[in-house]
Structure 1
Amino acid sequence: MTAFLQEVRDFANGPYVSALAKGDTISPAELDAVATKMSAYTGLSVDFIKRANLRVDLQRFRKELLRDQRRTVGRYDSRFTAIDVDAAGEAPEYDASDVQVSGPFTAALHDYLEQDLGYTTDLAYFPSGPGINQAWDWKHKPPGSSRAAQVADTAQDLSMAMRQNPKLKLYSLNGLYDMATPFFGTEYDINHMQLDPTLKGNVRFAYYPSGHMVYLNPQALTQMKADVAKFYDDATK
């Protein structure tokens, strides 16, 4: 898989981004070539990709990939599939990789509170608070900017922190099947922090055969713990 993922990275950073930059001036031949390559990598049809003008939204991808099987793809973990009421809809109606773990999360918390801590309550527990994301103020003023941006991009804050403290280390842990925070998006953000060349060695990445919550995979959790322990040891030497 490592070689395949690098091939896809090269395509995304090369022919794909070049095609997007050309906009409506892209030639029919190049459009066909890029759409065909995208189809081979994603499993979506060439026709669908071309109708989306090469710009496939994540929600659409999750709905479209297995549409002929009346299934949708998970967001936190794309190995999970779900069944929607409306198979012809625009986007998934829920995230299978969320609902299949939220129940055990809730049960485990209640068991811990009641059995270990002796705490009981009639309050409802929500693994993800309802309405919080919709009400969140995402505006953020990055370093060096005179005004707040509408998107909370904090990469430049981290970049400044690393410049101010050259001993600060960054370790990015990624689940390969995570569509909530896809690893390539993380790579892009970190690789555009405009770090001084002397600081680039302070950044490292790790990848696991898991979704967003790496710890749900026992084997990946064991490896992640070992990786993080080594990172702490190396960073404090």
Structure 2
Amino acid sequence: MRAFLVACLLAAAVPGLACADEEKSEAAAKPIPDPVMFETSHTGTFGGTRVAYPVKGGETYIAGEVGEPAASLFAISYIKDKAGPERPVSFVFNGGPGSASIWLHLGLLGPKRAVVASNADADDGAAPYTMADNPLSLLDVTDLVFIDPVGTGFSRAIGEGKNEDYWNEAGDKGSIAEFIRLWLTDNKRWNAPKYLIGESFGTTRAAYLAEELTTGDVDIALNGLVLISQALDYEGSTSIHDNVYSYITYLPSMAAAAQYHGKAGQGVPQDEFLAEARAFARDEYGPALMKGARLSADERARIRDRLVYFTGLDADYIETSDLRILMPRFQKELLRDRGLAIGRLDGRYAGDEADDIAETPDGDAASYFVSSAYSALMNQYLAADLGVDMDRPYMLSSGEAGSKWDFRTAPEGEFWEPKYVNAGRQLTTAMRQNTGLEVWVANGLYDMITPFFDAEVTFGRYGIPQDRVAMTYYQAGHMMYLHEPALEAVAADLRAFYAGSLEDMRPD
């Protein structure tokens, strides 16, 4: 440190000498450790088939601009023993941005599953928690590679790299595309059917990564994308003032939650009630919002009363809200009379908060009801079952990555005006340049973050080929696999998708 300070003082007197150069040389001198690798062998029964599978994983180094390792991506690969070169392989990641792949790993796809309250009626409390075999895992159908992006899990920048270099679309897709290329090369699987499985922001990632793999320097054609709780166009999943579009896209999800909690739609079949909500949102509510203050008194009263019917909220509250209900307010208001706030990830959950007069929830019950179990079980599984011994913590979620993520789409120095994140056109490009690419969109009806109606509207736009998209729905939320009946349905639909027989369930 003293030497560095001296160098900084000299910089003022010696032309060409800069502290930034000194910092760079110190970073360059920092040794790059050898990558940590591990391998264990296991057997299990999946889809009724007994499968022997080695687990291979650890760190894969990604080169920076000068060719030296700049990032280390940690991944866990489940590979069927004696798998042939044409066995399908699926690359899996979660979202955030800033989330490790733990949720899809221990919730849906891995050979072991974290067990939490299926009916959203209890939190996970404290240890010990339960880890169970997961016979619904797809290991009988495809190899599974769980990727933790930089800043999550054990993944990090190394050498002269910085985490911030990868907290943007270009760095994110570049590093993961390179990881996939290296994995296919190392495992001699270039001719295998290839899939991407993403959740939430992971679906945004899957869309721009599919375009990158299709149009980049190394052409890697994908067979399928599994998009769980899609987030391609953020305008439809960003509930903030003055985003008129979001009031429309969120309304059917509010109706689903209100009906679930007995506040609306009682005695009406769910399919019928949600079809009504869709039609109202599209054909009446949207045009009314466009009129704004020019609504007549009769029109305004009709819209208010219909919002009461669908949301279960008090008419005076809706009137005071100017007919515009933000999702965080809805979470707090729906069950305010019971002193509860419903979850954002999953509207089935309801947490008892101390401040019953607050405008919005203090936390997300759908998150804190399950996260402790996932954290404990993942760390236990890594150490005890997979023999992973690392000198740093496994980062389930990086708040820093989320807060520092750069959504800018133009290079520095070029004009760019902030706008909603949108990967719709990138998915279109990937699908139109690769006619073998099939897409499945899985929606939770009680997802209060990425609403199912937004998925329907999004996939009807941008020139996405409709005959290669299947959309399905589940009686759960953002992570629909937390609900065991939904888990079983999702697993069955996954197998159907890989077999090419999954049917689209979108309403006419």
Asked if Structure 1 and Structure 2 have the same fold, meaning a TM-score greater than 0.5 normalized by the shorter chain, the answer is: yes
The Cα shift of 1:99 comes to 0.4
Q: Check if 1:69 corresponds to 2:335.
A: no
Q: Which runs of 4+ in 1 moved over 6 A?
A: none
Closer/same/farther in 2, CA of residues 161 and 120 from structure 1, 3 Å limit: closer
Deviation per CA, 1:107-161: give whole Å up to 9, x if none: 11011012112334574444322233222122336xxxx9565321101111222
1:65-214 alignment runs, 5 A limit:
65-120=334-389, 123-140=392-409, 147=416, 149-195=418-464, 199-214=465-480
Partner of 1:225: 491
Structure 1 unaligned regions, length at least 5: none
Instruction: Give the match for residue 318 of structure 2.
Output: 49
Q: Which has the larger radius of gyration?
A: 2
Quote the Cα distance in structure 2 between the aligned partners of 1:134 and 1:89. Answer: 24
Higher relative contact order structure (alpha carbons within 8 Å, sequence separation ≥ 6): 2
| Aligned residues of 2:331 and 2:343 also touching (Cα < 8 A) | yes
What aligned pairs does 1:4-15 form with structure 2 within 5 A after superposition?
A: 4-15=273-284
Quick check: 1:39 aligned with 2:308? yes
Q: State the distance in 2 between where 1:39 and 1:135 align.
A: 39
Do the aligned residues in 2 keep the contact of 1:74 with 1:81 (CA within 8 Å)? Answer: yes
Letter in 1 for 2:489: Q
Supply the distance in 1 between the matched residues of 2:417 and 2:494 (Cα, whole angstroms).
34
In structure 2, give the amino acid aligned to 1:233: A
Distance 1:194 1:160 in 2: 9
Secondary structure of the structure 2 residue equivalent to 1:191 = coil
Contact 2:447/2:477 (CA < 8 Å) preserved in 1? yes
Match of 1:234 in 2: 500
Output the amino acid matched with 1:217: H
- AA at the equivalent of 1:113: L
Q: Give me the CA root mean square deviation.
A: 1.9
Of Structure 1 and Structure 2, the greater helix share is in: 1
Q: Flag the 1:126–1:29 CA change in 2: closer, same or farther, 3 A.
A: farther
Q: Distance in 2 between matches of 1:126 and 1:80?
A: 25
- Please give the alpha-carbon distance, in whole angstroms, between the structure 2 residues aligned to 1:67 and 1:106: 30
Query: Is the partner of 2:442 in helix, strand or coil?
Result: strand
CA distance in 1, matches of 2:394, 2:468: 39
The counterpart of 1:25, out of the listed 291, 294, 297, is 294
Identity %: 36
Worse-superposed segment, 159-168 or 25-34: 159-168
Cα distance in 1 between the residues matched to 2:345 and 2:478 = 5
CA–CA distance in structure 1, aligned partners of residues 499 and 357 of structure 2: 52
| In 2, Cα distance between equivalents of 1:38 and 1:139 | 36
- CA contact 1:106–1:126 (8 Å) conserved in 2: no
Change (3 A) 1:133 1:20: same
SS at match of 1:5: helix
Aligned: 1:216 with 2:482: yes
> Which residue identity lines up with residue 373 of structure 2 in the other structure?
P
SS of the aligned residue for 1:206 comes to strand
Greater strand content:
2
* Whole-angstrom distance in 2 between the partners of 1:188 and 1:149: 22
The question of whether the paired residues in 1 share the 8 Å contact of 2:439 and 2:468 is answered with yes
For residue 190 of structure 1, what is the amino acid of its counterpart? F
What do the CA deviations read for 1:24-57 (whole angstroms, capped 9, x no partner)?
A: 1011111111111111111111211122222111
